[in-house]
Structure 1
Amino acid sequence: MNFFRLDTRLGILVPHLVNEWEHYDQEKRENILFQWEKIRGAIPDRIADLEQEINEKQNALSDESNFLKSCQLNSEISELASIINDLWLWYRTHQDITHKAHL
């Protein structure tokens, strides 16, 4: 059974548990946590890639004289920043879960 699914907006697998956490046996919980830690560990790299895209779009924006194209670039930058924010939320929120699960 797969406990994660791809969030295409974020570009990472996110937890997708069918049952409450308490309904999984200890072995499944450990497996889920192990998989999540691998995914979670890649989040900073994903953020760095998105920050690079933002920098490229900001550079293009500084040279852009077409108003509509400037608006489009600003919108794309805003969306990338929103994705980064959501990724940080996933990264920070679930470190608490994994810590509590090991107690």
Structure 2
Amino acid sequence: MVVLTITFTYDSRLGISVPQLETEWNYLNPQTQTAIFDKWEEIRGDIPDRIKDLEQEINELQQQLYEEDEFQKSCELNSSIAELASIINDLWIWYRSGEGVEVKVHS
């Protein structure tokens, strides 16, 4: 018997757990799909708050950048801002990945 599973692995860069499919979605039974979807919706619901926190960090770094006179430090701040913006972009991609997914439960 083959065990078909999915795990949610914490991604420290994103600050959320992301699904790791070990099989094709269509091969999972409806009950498993529902459980996975419910778990993802719980995680997905936290993404906007995570983005808000990152935006606050960007605002703080931008304020430091505006006040920074040293070129090397300015470059480091710009790099940090770019990385945070990249994380936000990736989080939005994950957030939208759950849209339009329907799980059909057979009773």
Q: Does 1:101 align with 2:106?
A: no
Match of 2:52 among 48, 60, 69: 48
Q: Which has the larger radius of gyration?
A: 2
| Structure ranking higher in helix proportion | 1
**1:13 matched residue in structure 2:** 17
Which of 90, 95, 98 is residue 94 of structure 2 equivalent to?
Answer: 90
Alpha carbons of structure 1 residues 102 and 55: separation in structure 2 relative to 1, 3 Å: farther
Q: What is the identity percentage for the equivalent residue pairs of Structure 1 and Structure 2?
A: 53
Structure 2 unaligned residues grouped into runs of 5+ = none
Distance 1:49 1:90, change over 3 A: same
CA distance in 2, matches of 1:20, 1:87: 23
Any residues of structure 2 matched to 1:18-97 within 5 Å, and which?
18-97=22-101
Following TM superposition, the consecutive aligned residue runs of length 4 or more in structure 1 with deviations greater than 6 angstroms are: none
Q: With structure 2 as the length reference, what TM-score do the two structures score?
A: 0.88
Q: Tell me if 1:4 matches 2:5.
A: no
Which structure ranks higher in relative contact order (CA pairs < 8 Å, sequence separation ≥ 6)?
2
**Structure 1 residues not aligned, in runs of 5+:** none
